[in-house]
Structures are given as C-alpha cells and as structure tokens.
Amino acid sequence: MKSRKVRDEWKQVLADVQNGEEIVVELYNRPVARIIPYKEAPMPTITAADIRDLANADFADLAVLCIDTDGDLWICPESTAREHGARIITDATAVADYTGGIQDEHTSELHAALADELNNELSR
C-alpha cells in the first residue's frame, strides 16, 4: 500500500489490521514498513521442575559488593567474598551502616561511586 494511501485511509488501515491483515507500506515503490496486528506476549509458564532447578542452582559466582576485613569496598564473586570473610552488602541499609549513617558530601560521593561500580559490573 502506498504511504499516501495509508495516510488517507488510516482508519480503514487500522480496521484491516485489527481483522488480522498485514499491510506493507511503500514509499517511492519500495517497502519501508509493515503494519501487523498486535499480539500480547504469552505469559511464561513456570513448572515445578523450573522451581526445583532454581532452588538447586549455584549462585556462588555471582558478583557482589562487599567490605573486606580492612574496610575496603570491592566487587568479587560471592564465593571469593565468603572465603575472605568479607561482609556482603545486600541493600542500601548496609551501605548506610558502612558510612555510619552520615549524610554529607563524602557519603553522597561514596553512594555515587558504589552505584557506578555496580552498574559497571552489571554491564560486563
């Protein structure tokens, strides 16, 4: 269908698409778009086997943010953190505990640095 015709007959185009028709839009006699009926993505089915697999999964190599015995922050696999006796930071409360609950310029910078480190680690 020519792009001009799509524009001029938009209501009919939408009605046709609602009825299951696919429409290829042409611009200067070349296909540039396809209008297709919208379909909801099916809900994933989770089985009992999926839940058992998840319960038995080994997450020891997931990266975690932790505080080592010297008080330094670092990111490493959870298994490494546990081997070295590091405290794993699991939420914002733990970060606040690390900073002593102080809200000043230094802790704001620390929170930003932690967020950057986590984002960089997650993007790897």
Is the whole model's pTM more than 0.85, yes or no?
Answer: no
Strands (E), the chain: 23-27, 30-35, 63-67, 73-77, 87-89
Burial class, 81, CB count within 10 angstroms (exposed 0-12 / middle 13-18 / buried 19+): buried
* Tens-digit pLDDT profile for residues 13-69: 999 999 999 999 999 999 999 999 998 888 888 888 888 888 888 776 778 878 888
From residue 93, give the alpha-carbon distance in Å to each of 66, 77, 90, 98, 99.
13, 21, 8, 9, 10
Whole-number Å distance between alpha carbons of 70 and 59 = 25
